Structure 1
């Protein structure tokens, strides 16, 4: 009996899509198995990054530059006093450009020269981030543009998850080939981008298999809440767990086991 191409899927937790290794853009004409492996891990963040925009507009460019520099010095000082990780502190170069606004009549009005600079820094604890935000007087000229959690060992963790996902594809392919009385003759391709061929299944909508039993996930750690207050801004931060996911899609060549 001639073998047909078989599609197998298996999945665990899913959150973030990874960067691609390589996209397999062809499928073999001979019988094969397409399998998916997935590795996931939930961790508590240990990095807390804040980004700020410092800007000023004035008809005198040097006056705008001077105000921006004063606010930049204040932010850098607050980073240092509140134990920002030294290697994480970055201050971009000055950006200088004309600034305009539109009047009620729809006419463009020149406001002066806009000088701006972006800064970024990371903290190892939510307590240090909280103290930093309390030390910063947010205003129209000094804005907190974003705050986000992270994990210092993300790169190593993603490598582990890809290895787990690859191992899962090999085990799944072997199990399915045995069930069909076939044997695996070789690996045709492997990728962390979901193939989009004639299977009718695309990235993001692979069905979950009811036959695959996955171990229960440990309960997620409780989030840590922080509320900080500056003289001109009130910020609320919640640091919760982060789930990292890596997918691997592999095509194995097969033949009749007889």
Structure 2
């Protein structure tokens, strides 16, 4: 029976790093095959972040500092009233610096700038909407929302990596068996598609009618549909914060 060594190529070669080119020279001369495993899942976000930038400029440093701290106390209290997640509420240290502006081509001192950044996350869009509806923004209180996120992203990615790795093993074994061969080892592994003399570009893997019959049933399964509806938050003005699902994908590229 023919033997195939499992070779999982490091896709650092695509960046043309010296270490990657060194790996290119270590590709075994014996027969081998290249397979890819991919796992994908959609989840609904459960973290809705917001950051508030406080800034005040005054010729009297104490006056600027007092206004920033007063605004900060109000924002922190509003975080709590709006059900911000306690472990996500953060308050950075005050920053003090001179402030100037250009007038007639010259820099003119206008005072001392005191600033501070506050941030927090909410478990749903409705809570974030309540916060935004109650916050009084001004030139000294600027608010910015963040992209919705999923709190268990790290755990989910680990599960997807394991699923993608299982697919590579099954794909390598199935493809080798179709040619009467057997996988006997592993060379290296990567979670990014390679770009080298095989003619396969990163993220561009040929499949379809022109591929070998053994490859046609080796594509990863389609992700399960998301059953949870989008989370919406409304206020009296009719404004809405709507969130769609987040898609996470992990891939592994092995040589077999």
TM-score, length-scaled by structure 2: 0.79
Instruction: State the partner residue of 1:55.
Output: 55
Gaps of 5+ in 2: 9-18, 209-215
SS in 2 for 1:29: coil
Instruction: State the partner residue of 1:209.
Output: 207
Between Structure 1 and Structure 2, how many residues are aligned?
232
Q: Contact conserved, 1:40 with 1:244, CA < 8 A, in 2?
A: yes
Q: Contact conserved, 1:228 with 1:235, CA < 8 A, in 2?
A: yes
**Structure with a larger share of its residues in helix:** 2
TM-score, length-scaled by structure 1: 0.79
Q: List aligned pairs for 1:90-239, cutoff 5 A.
A: 90-103=90-103, 105-203=104-202, 205-210=203-208, 211-212=216-217, 213-220=219-226, 221-228=228-235, 236-239=240-243
Structure 1 Cα separation of the partners of residues 222 and 37 of structure 2:
17
Structure 1 residues 214 and 186: CA distance shift in structure 2, 3 A: closer
Structure 2 Cα separation of the partners of residues 235 and 138 of structure 1:
16
Structure 1 Cα separation of the partners of residues 189 and 175 of structure 2:
17
SS in 2 for 1:198: coil
Q: Contact conserved, 2:51 with 2:119, CA < 8 A, in 1?
A: yes
Q: Contact conserved, 2:95 with 2:116, CA < 8 A, in 1?
A: yes
Q: Contact conserved, 1:133 with 1:228, CA < 8 A, in 2?
A: no
Structure 2 Cα separation of the partners of residues 139 and 87 of structure 1:
27
SS in 2 for 1:166: helix
The Cα RMSD (Å) is 3.0
Structure 1 residues 35 and 214: CA distance shift in structure 2, 3 A: closer
SS in 2 for 1:150: coil
Q: Contact conserved, 2:4 with 2:181, CA < 8 A, in 1?
A: no
Q: Contact conserved, 1:49 with 1:149, CA < 8 A, in 2?
A: yes
Q: List aligned pairs for 1:243-254, cutoff 5 A.
A: 243-252=247-256
**Structure with a larger share of its residues in strand:** 1
SS in 1 for 2:187: strand
Deviations 1:14-53, CA, capped at 9 Å, x for gaps: xxxxxxxxxx831423232222211110011111111111
Q: Contact conserved, 2:167 with 2:220, CA < 8 A, in 1?
A: no
Structure 1 Cα separation of the partners of residues 122 and 130 of structure 2:
10
Gaps of 5+ in 1: 9-23, 253-258
Instruction: State the partner residue of 2:80.
Output: 80
Q: Does 1:241 align with 2:226?
A: no
Structure 1 Cα separation of the partners of residues 33 and 229 of structure 2:
41
Structure 1 residues 59 and 145: CA distance shift in structure 2, 3 A: same
